[in-house]
Amino acid sequence: MLFKQQALLRQKLFVLGSLAIGSLLYLVARVGSLDRLQPLCPIDGRFGPRSQDEIPLRALQFKRGLLHEFRKGNATKEQIRLHNLVQQLPKAIIIGVRKGGTRALLEMLNLHPAVVKASQEIHFFDNDENYAKGIEWYRKKMPFSYPHQITIEKSPAYFITEEVPERIYKMNSSIKLLIIVREPTTRAISDYTQVLEGKERKNKTYYKFEKLAIDPNTCEVNTKYKAVRTSIYTKHLERWLKYFPIEQFHIVDGDRLITEPLPELQLVEKFLNLPPRISQYNLYFNATRGFYCLRFNVVFNKCLAGSKGRIHPEVDTSVITKLRKFFHPFNQKFYQITGRTFNWP
């Protein structure tokens, strides 16, 4: 009796095993045939059409991964050649102004997959020693990029240095130039604050802003003070206009870039003839920092350095009033030349 039960059990196990093997073979054959067929629902379609404002993930992965390795010098010449990468001269330069938001603008534009930024200020055109090294030295300071991408660098000293407009013109007379400005008095105080912090770090003493900004002999605005002189935007711009038409400049509102960056970035995209790719998704407000941070994708986020947004020292209100009155006529002329008006007092 026991022998018959064992034989029956072996027979059932054999049948079940045969069915299992047959099912497995069927699935393998089915998968192989599916690989050869056009899928009924492509992967892109499952999530709907991609928004025009969404940055292609593939481009982002390239920029943050492979290109990063090339910048670190980990790529061979053969790898660079195979990937069709080049070091291009910039097609656009953020020429100023200091403490206007040049770093923030550069980092935000780098959100665009068609933009590749130089990570450091090159100071080629404003530094005689660097300029003497030649244009190829300058090119070698640029990041690797695809030929269709735009390389952008920023050196805010360019805007106020007399020799720079002619030097850039000789390199590329059709280059696009970006100027980011803030309310002139606020910018001057921000300029002072950065220098003050550097002095304090070295345990050095420094004059108060009021003493530097106002001539003690005349009690008038001290135009020899660099922070004041830099804020006379129209004087510097007039020097640039001797070489470049106003159409090659784009003025960015640095104050608005802090509080409402997306509209300003969209204007720059249009000026640079770039397809719109930067969206609100890429910008999120960090309440702790008090600034917008950058979101490249679901993995990679970036905030500006902690040195941004320094607390300004208190400045005598009468000095602020005097400076604003001084800058007013220059501001009006700046509005007239650029065609862009700001709500500066």
**Which residues are catalytic, by number?**
99
**Tokens standing for 323?**
């400076």
Which residue ranges make up the annotated binding site? 99-103, 182, 190, 292, 308-312
What is the distance, to the nearest Å, from the Cα of residue 302 to the centroid of all Cα atoms in its chain? 11
Distance separating alpha carbons of residues 284 and 218, to the nearest angstrom: 47
**Angle of the 261-271 helix axis to the 102-109 helix axis, nearest 10:** 70
The H or E element spanning position 305 is: none
Distance separating alpha carbons of residues 157 and 207, to the nearest angstrom: 23
Q: Say which residues have a Cβ less than 8 Å from residue 127's Cβ, sequence separation at least 6.
A: none
Judge contact between 188 and 229, C-beta under 8 A: no
Distance separating alpha carbons of residues 111 and 5, to the nearest angstrom: 73
Judge contact between 149 and 90, C-beta under 8 A: no
Which residue ranges make up the annotated binding site for 3'-phosphoadenylyl sulfate? 99-103, 182, 190, 292, 308-312
